[in-house]
């Protein structure tokens, strides 16, 4: 805790001093992620599918071995599912025409928010139409998309929340994206579990010229906000 009672994470990311270097590093990081997606798809998944097919064939040919092969078959299925999750999380959407929040909503509702961990979570998306009208810069588009996805994943995995609100609002700073839950908040344990994700969110924000703040929610839980450091012109 800081002397004024705020959590160490209840503070804004530093204003970037070397945006060019940060941006280049994040571009390289995104390129590496896309390479990993391609390698998983082209090199790993075919072997997992082949192994699963071979085990299924072996079980049919030798019913007496079925009980012994059930567990390896489950491991292969789990490995395939993990590979798919990694691919879906690492890949960027092909269409950002409606902005990063709409793209994040489509991804999260099809992958993350359909998991068992999210079955008790009520999710609201607020003012997405306004965010879709903004003329987003490419670096800010990718950064906001990644930050929203990571923040929602953290809520699903660690917050023990029942309510989650993701919103966009035009204001004097240009705009604000907010991800707020009513969960347990960022205590030491949850920060430890998600610290890598939080660090990456801050790096993405800095690289895109955005200000990231993580702190206590208005009534409970945690709120993550993203705003531009410089005023962004609003659509007419």
Euclidean distance between CA atoms 216 and 174, whole angstroms: 23
Q: Considering the domain 11-18+96-228, what is its CATH architecture?
A: 2-Layer Sandwich (3.30)
Q: For 137-151, write each residue's pLDDT tens digit.
A: 888 998 999 999 989
Residue with tokens 């989650």: 164
Q: For 170-196, write each residue's pLDDT tens digit.
A: 988 789 999 999 998 876 444 544 566
pLDDT of residue 129: 87
Average pLDDT over residues 93-120: 89
How many C-alpha atoms does 235 have within 13 Å on its Cβ side?
A: 10
pLDDT of residue 117: 87
* 102 contacts 128 by C-beta, under 8 angstroms: yes
pLDDT of residue 12: 46
Average pLDDT over residues 105-111: 89
Report which of 105, 120, 230 is spatially closest to residue 179, judged by C-alpha positions.
105
pTM of the model: 0.67
β-strand 163-171 against 174-181: which pairing, if any?
antiparallel
């Amino acid at each position: 805790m800081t002397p004024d009672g705020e959590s160490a994470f209840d503070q804004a990311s530093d204003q970037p001093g070397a945006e060019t270097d940060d941006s280049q590093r994040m571009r390289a990081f995104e390129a590496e992620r896309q390479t990993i997606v391609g390698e998983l798809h082209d090199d790993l998944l075919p072997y997992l599918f082949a192994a699963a097919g071979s085990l299924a064939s072996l079980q049919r040919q030798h019913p007496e071995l079925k009980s012994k092969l059930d567990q390896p078959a489950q491991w292969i299925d789990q490995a395939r599912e993990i590979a798919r999750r990694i691919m879906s999380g690492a890949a960027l959407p092909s269409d950002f025409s409606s902005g990063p929040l709409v793209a994040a909503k489509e991804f999260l509702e099809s992958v993350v928010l359909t998991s068992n961990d999210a079955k008790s979570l009520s999710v609201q998306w607020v003012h997405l139409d306004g965010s879709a009208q903004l003329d987003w810069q490419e670096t800010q588009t990718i950064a906001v998309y990644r930050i929203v996805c990571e923040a929602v994943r953290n809520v699903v995995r660690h917050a023990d929340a029942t309510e989650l609100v993701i919103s966009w609002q035009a204001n004097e700073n240009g705009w604000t994206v907010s991800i707020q839950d009513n969960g347990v908040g960022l205590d030491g344990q949850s920060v430890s579990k998600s610290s890598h994700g939080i660090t990456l969110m801050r790096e993405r924000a800095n690289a895109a010229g955005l200000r990231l703040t993580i702190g206590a929610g208005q009534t409970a839980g945690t709120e993550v906000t993203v705003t531009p450091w410089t005023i962004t012109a609003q659509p007419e």
